[in-house]
A and B are shown apart, each in its own frame.
Chain A
Amino acid sequence: MFMPQIKPKYFGDVPFVEAAKWILTGFFFKLYVANNLNEMTSYMDFPLYETLQTQDRWLLVFLYSYQIYADFFGYSAIAIGLALLFGYRLPVNFNLPYASISFSEFWTRWHISLSSWLRTYLYVPLGGNRRGAFRTYLNLMIVMGLGGLWHGAGLSYLMWGLLHGVLLVIERPFIPRLQSIDSTVFRAARISVVFVCVTMLWIFFKLPNFDHAISYLSGMFTPNTNPNPPKLFYNLALLYSLPVMIQHLVSRSLFERTLRGAEPYLYGLMAALMYLEAGPETSFIYFQF
């Protein structure tokens, strides 16, 4: 895909509008969503999380889920936009992953470059699904375990990968039956289950110390009697998460039908908001991997 693109480039071929849309979207997700949410999710760090109310532990896990997506999606979108300015079209790295109806679909929508690499160079050479059910499950566990370790040599990352492997293994025999049920409500329920499970597993990502991750997780199911818990502003959390929600919930065709004329104005507002409402500067999360 990339190699054929190495050839002379012409200024007139540069898709400026498309590049601008990618870059603006990327910066908006990073500066407005991820950096602002980061200020709240810093309470998930050890030992701050121990002072949190139980419901706030739950809220922060979901906010971290939005944050890591916005951070990494933003990073990838900026790269795609910049590459377009140089005449190169990079593959899309995220395709609305939180709208996935199964764990296997999630891995075709999240960090597509890594998951494609793992499939091509690890899962397929290991035999893929060609050597019977048991070997398929084993291959999935190996690939996901190594995928976890790719992020860092820690028990938390390994657990994160292996637990994703377990979810893939559990759902695999049921996929044909699940796909035969044609119901919007059932589809919404499946999306919710996948989103909640994926979100819960981000705890191992946020807290690379395994003991801390387990401690955080167990605190989500026990009441905290701390009389002075930190105050989180729920309305601010909602407003900073909103772009991720809108992106996943509003269908592209509906957007194009109703707001196509307003598109440049909306991008302009995003540009202004990412300056006015930028959260405190932080590195991209994926810089640590």
Chain B
Amino acid sequence: MQEISVVRWFVKCGFSAVTLLLACGFATAWFGNGLQLPSTTTRDGTLITLNRYAKEPVPDVVLVGSSLTFRLKEDYFATPKLRNLALAGGSPVTGLEIVANQPRLPRILLVEANVLSRPTDTALVERYSRSGAAEPLVFRPIRTAVAAYENWLHAPRSHTEASLTLHRLLAQPPSDFDNRIYADRALQQSNAEDPTVAAQMNVRRIEQLMSAVEQRGARVLLFELPYSEKLEDSRSAKITRELVHAKFPDAARWLRIDLTRRELRWADGVHLDERSAVIVTQSMDRALSSLLSQR
């Protein structure tokens, strides 16, 4: 008798577990990319960005980079068909490898040259380099519910929708937030780091990938995002800059970003604040419009 009740308990338990798993499995198959709602964590954000890139039509312009480039939101750009594949906490080479491994390439690939001390995320490259690369995210009921709610509250904006907010932001004076503590710490860390070995490897890999991508008809340009004056002169920034410019001395290889530095701010000492990011994207837009009109 007791054995029957034990078996019954496990059957009921297994039934509800399997039912929920099947329901989520069907939801995953049914909704596919529709599940890629706003990310709730950095890791989610990375997977969502890459999944979207693998599934959607190939854009004209793609940015790859680190968290510095991640701050340049797509809706800040006036350039249509632009995707930002920068990975917060990641290396620009990871994004470049993933794009280079896709069957179709964008017209222009912009590669951030600021942070080259990080290794390539080989697991991520492998995951998104197979044919039909996007991996459906398993339907996670709690996160999906929260993401749907967040999506409803803060629906993604197009550049046109965002432009009013951007104009308002640009009309404001630069932030007077005192970031000395963060800037000093960033400088200390940057001075303690010697990126020579990792940066040399990454620069070599960028050169190889550039050559492979350009043989297939895409154009690859490097760009450097501005650091604060103190950080520009830090050990890590200097070494990286020297290495990358020694390898790519031709000015035509670089996207020219003209801007007024005194307008820029770095709230945490390293990353551009929102207003500064908009100023930088506007400068990039100007450079990109002449490049895109060339063909």
Contact = CB atoms under 8 A, between A and B. Distances in A.
Interface string B188-216: 00000000000000000000000000000
A240 B271 CA distance: 30
A227 B267 CA distance: 7
Contacts of A271: 13, 17
A47 B268 CA distance: 11
A268 B13 contact: yes
B41 A17 contact: no
Contacts of B20: 268-269, 272-273, 276
5 contacts: A39-B41, A50-B182, A239-B146, A271-B17, A277-B142
B15 interface: yes
A142 B279 CA distance: 60
Interface residues of A, number: 30
A150 interface: no
A140 to B, nearest CB: 39
Interface string B147-165: 0011000000000000000
A265 B16 contact: yes
B8 to A, nearest CB: 8
B78 interface: no
A276 B13 contact: no
B141 interface: yes
Contacts of A20: 9-10, 13
B294 to A, nearest CB: 36
Nearest to A271: B17
Given A228-B268, A228-B273, A272-B21, A235 B146 contact: yes
Contacts of A277: 140-143
Contact of A225 (B138, B177, B274): B177
A255 interface: no
Contact of B175 (A227, A272, A280): A227
Query: Which 10 pairs, one residue from A and one from B, show the smallest C-beta to C-beta distance?
Result: A268-B16, A264-B12, A272-B20, A268-B17, A265-B16, A268-B13, A264-B13, A271-B17, A272-B17, A228-B267
Contact of A236 (B15, B143, B181): B143
B9 A264 contact: yes
A161 B11 CA distance: 46
A239 B143 CA distance: 9
A51 interface: yes
A276 B182 CA distance: 38
A16 interface: yes
Interface in B104-147: 138-143, 146
Given A233-B150, A271-B13, A276 B177 contact: no
A209 to B, nearest CB: 15
B183 to A, nearest CB: 12
Contacts of B181: 50
A234 B31 CA distance: 26
Nearest to B38: A233
Interface of B: 6, 8-10, 12-21, 24, 40-41, 43, 138-143, 146, 149-150, 175, 177-178, 181-182, 185, 267-268, 271, 273-274
Interface in A11-57: 16-17, 20, 24, 39, 47, 50-51
A253 interface: no
B143 A226 contact: no
A93 B228 CA distance: 53
A267 interface: yes
A228 B140 contact: no
Nearest to B42: A39
Given A269-B20, A273-B142, A17 B177 contact: no
A272 B169 CA distance: 45
A20 B13 CA distance: 10
B9 A276 contact: no
A226 B182 CA distance: 10
A29 to B, nearest CB: 15
Contact of A226 (B10, B41, B149, B177): B177
B120 to A, nearest CB: 20
Contact of B12 (A16, A268, A276): A268
B273 to A, nearest CB: 6
Contacts of A17: 6, 9-10
A272 B268 CA distance: 40
Given A228-B267, A268-B18, A276-B141, 9 more contacts: A16-B10, A17-B9, A20-B10, A51-B182, A228-B274, A235-B146, A235-B149, A239-B146, A272-B17
Contacts of A272: 16-18, 20-21, 24
Contacts of A186: none
A50 B269 CA distance: 12
A121 interface: no
A226 B274 CA distance: 12
Contacts of A86: none
A275 B142 contact: no
Interface in A93-132: none
Interface string A223-259: 0011110000101100110000000000000000000
Given A233-B150, A235-B149, A265-B16, A276 B268 contact: no
Interface in A156-183: none
Contacts of A24: 13
Contacts of A51: 182, 268
A275 B43 CA distance: 17
